[in-house]
Amino acid sequence: MRYIVGLSPDQGGREALALGSLLARSSEGSLTVVTVVPETWGPPSLARVDAEYAQFVLQNAQKSLAKAKASISSDVDADFIAVPAKSARDGLLRAAQDMGADCIVVGSSRSAPPGRFAEGSVATGLLHSADLPIAIAPRGYLPDPRSVVRRISCAFSPSPASAVVVRKSAELCGIFEVPLRLVTLIVRDKQMYPTGAGYDAENMVANTMREQAQVTLDEMTADWDGAIQLTSEIGDGKTWKSAFDSLLWASAEILVIGSSSLGPIARVFLGSKSGKIAQNSPVPCLIMPRHGS
């Protein structure tokens, strides 16, 4: 597999590089580390200001790439390029297309709490337009440089779309040679003002959802005939964070999330629920494009 890493000059770029290295090492794949520089436009000025600025930007980009190259262990096959584009999103998408990449890797905005993810402008653009999986690294993500992926979890809900995501997750498990865990999250988030039914009735609804999810998970694991080892668990809590924290997460684990059904087919799109999962996951997430079947 080939991964495109979006290298920004801040810590988010280093976190993306760490995640990309982990993925490449684990799948015996390769990295293309990309820093995007502004395109020059129009004829050069008489004072050569445009040319001098372009040279200045390119020199800084090369310094960032050299620093990234020095930080990657020798067991990862990687190359490093600067791509001129109107925006970072356009540059990364173009590089992914030119390289025939399987995935784009980006880091978190600095607005996220440590260990969690928040969309920056680049991630937002990619998560609304990319036609290939997007891997996102939580803020502060720094795995051991020799580590490999140990398990893949798949965010599961009892819907037809989830079956496609499970199948894609199982295919990834075959590449990474790791087990698959299905994870369903039940959030009992009490609002300041309850509905007319009251909190007790809402809690009963949550309990019913949990029971139905457990039945579906049990049926899937019982009927599973794939070569990949499959387990399932339910995370339950008053908030998204506490629901995640109720589960144990392996070292170097990846959580696969399906795109919202509201988004276009063959594109990545985070809806309200998938967005909450991505923002609260304590491990890196891989968001899959929406498929029609």
pLDDT tens for each residue of 2-31:
999 999 888 889 999 999 999 999 999 999
Contact, 184 vs 156, CB < 8 A? Answer: yes
| Same domain for 218 and 109 | no
| Same domain for 284 and 155 | yes
Q: Which residue has the higher pLDDT, 43 or 285?
A: 285
Tokens of residue 88, six digits: 């970072």
Contact, 135 vs 286, CB < 8 A? Answer: yes
Give the model confidence (pLDDT) of 130-159 as tens digits.
Answer: 889 999 999 999 999 889 999 999 998 877
Domain for residue 141, yes or no?
no
Q: How confident is the model at residue 266 (pLDDT cuts 50, 70, 90)?
A: very low
Domain boundary at 82, 112, 136, which? 136
Q: Which residue has the higher pLDDT, 148 or 59?
A: 148
Give the model confidence (pLDDT) of 212-261 as tens digits.
Answer: 778 888 888 888 887 899 999 999 998 999 999 999 998 899 999 987 55
128, 130, 132, 138 alpha-carbon torsion, rounded to 10° = -60
Amino acid identity of 92? L
Boundaries of domain holding 223 = 151-288
Domain boundary at 103, 136, 169, which? 136
Give the model confidence (pLDDT) of 154-182 as tens digits.
Answer: 998 877 778 888 999 999 999 999 999 99
| Same domain for 176 and 74 | no
Using left for φ > 0, alpha for ψ between -120 and 50, and beta otherwise, residue 103 falls in beta
| Same domain for 223 and 180 | yes
Using left for φ > 0, alpha for ψ between -120 and 50, and beta otherwise, residue 48 falls in left
Count of the separate structural domains present in the chain: 2
Give the model confidence (pLDDT) of 87-137 as tens digits.
Answer: 999 999 999 999 999 999 999 998 899 999 988 888 888 888 888 999 999
9, 119, 92, 85 alpha-carbon torsion, rounded to 10° = -70
Instruction: Give me the CATH number covering residue 174.
Output: 3.40.50.620
Q: What is the pLDDT of residue 159?
A: 73
Q: What is the pLDDT of residue 263?
A: 44
pTM for the structure as a whole? 0.87
Nearest-angstrom CA–CA distance, 234 and 33: 36
| Same domain for 109 and 197 | no
| Same domain for 182 and 80 | no
| Same domain for 236 and 280 | yes
- H or E stretch at 187: strand 180-187
| Same domain for 91 and 26 | yes
| Same domain for 186 and 123 | no
Beta strands in 27-155 (DSSP E): 30-38, 77-85, 103-106, 134-136, 151-155
Q: What is the pLDDT of residue 282?
A: 94
- H or E stretch at 173: helix 160-176
